[in-house]
Amino acid sequence: MTQRTADIIDVLAGLDAGSPLSTVRDQRAQARDNAQLSFEALLEPAEPGSFPLAERYAVATFVALLHGFTEAAAFYADLLADEAPELAAPIEAAAAAGAAAGPYGAYREVGLQGENREGLRWHPSSETTAAVGGRLAAALAHTHLLVLRPREARAEHLRALADAEWSADDIVTLSQLVAFLSFQLRAAWGLRVLAANPASAPTVSEGA
């Protein structure tokens, strides 16, 4: 590829190249370039190895749906449809069943037990597991944990992935993928909201 591919955060934020906020982003050119390189390393790797693209796009679509970010969910669902169209419906069903308002969960720290907040501990249904397979189902369970109740992550959750045939290298990559998306979606969403509320105009308040 000789042509520079589109900046994915700009795409998800709805910013055109050369727009005022895209220009502000250029002040952090290294951050912009490396957010893009993170996307390429985690979602378009030259050598996906034992973590195939279909699984990566299924996880990404699930993450975007849990975040309620329509444009991002459509973007990742498109990638998924190219790679593994049969996964689209089960991922959508899993995200609907897993919908919850985070961050929540129980702390490990004894002095923080008063701040524990209960919430959905989602696990794939037998239908989901049958449709996506045990390996991807385990990844979806871990993804839901990381997106919504990261404070509840424990060593036993990594053991559950290992039991579902996830190697240590691929567990690190899965963790980076979900964590990176948690950044990427917020960076794009924040820019989108900022662009919709320019300084020159009165700020849109609730309901307007």
Partner 1 sequence: MTDIVTEYPDLARPEQFTQQGLGWVPWLLPVAEDELTDGQRDALIEPARAKMPYFRLLARNPEALRARTLTDLDIFFNVSSGVGRAERELAAAATSRDNGCVFCASVHAAAATRESSREADVQRLLDEGVGADLGDERWNAVVSASVALAATPLGFDGDDIARLRGAGFDDAEIVDVIGGAAFFNWANRLMLSLGEPEVPARRRETP
Residues in a beta bridge with 105: 117
Radius of gyration of the chain (CA): 18
Q: Which two tokens stand for residue 184?
A: 């990427």
Nearer to partner 1, 70 or 86 (CB): 70
Q: Which two tokens stand for residue 7?
A: 């900046």
Residues in a beta bridge with 117: 105
Buried b (16+ CB within 10 A) or exposed e, 122-155: bbbeeebbebbeebbbbbbbbbbbbbbbebbeee
Q: Does 157 bind partner 1 (CB under 8 A)?
A: yes
Nearer to partner 1, 123 or 157 (CB): 157
Nearer to partner 1, 130 or 172 (CB): 172
Shortest distance, position 85 Cβ to partner 1, whole Å: 25
Q: Which residue in 4, 18, 110, 126 binds partner 1 (CB under 8 A)? A: 110
Q: Which residue in 102, 120, 135, 164 binds partner 1 (CB under 8 A)? A: 102
Q: Is residue 84 within 8 Å of 57, Cβ to Cβ? A: yes
Nearer to partner 1, 26 or 127 (CB): 26
Q: Does 153 bind partner 1 (CB under 8 A)?
A: yes
Shortest distance, position 180 Cβ to partner 1, whole Å: 6
Of the chain, the end-to-end C-alpha distance in Å amounts to 45
C-alpha–C-alpha distance, residues 124 and 10, integer Å: 33
The pattern of x and - marking residues 160 through 199 that bind partner 1 according to CB under 8 A reads --x----xxx-xxx-xx-xxx-xxxxxx-xxx-xx-xx-x
Shortest distance, position 186 Cβ to partner 1, whole Å: 4
Q: Does 135 bind partner 1 (CB under 8 A)?
A: no
Nearest to 121 by CA among 136, 139, 106, 137: 106
Q: Which two tokens stand for residue 177?
A: 């993928």
Task: Supply the DSSP symbol for 46.
Answer: S
The pattern of x and - marking residues 47 through 76 that bind partner 1 according to CB under 8 A reads -------------------xxxx-------
Q: Which residue in 11, 21, 93, 120 binds partner 1 (CB under 8 A)? A: 21
**Residues touching partner 1: how many (CB under 8 A)?**
76
Q: Which residue in 19, 81, 92, 107 binds partner 1 (CB under 8 A)? A: 107
Q: Which residue in 2, 3, 126, 205 binds partner 1 (CB under 8 A)? A: 205
Q: Is residue 203 within 8 Å of 197, Cβ to Cβ? A: yes
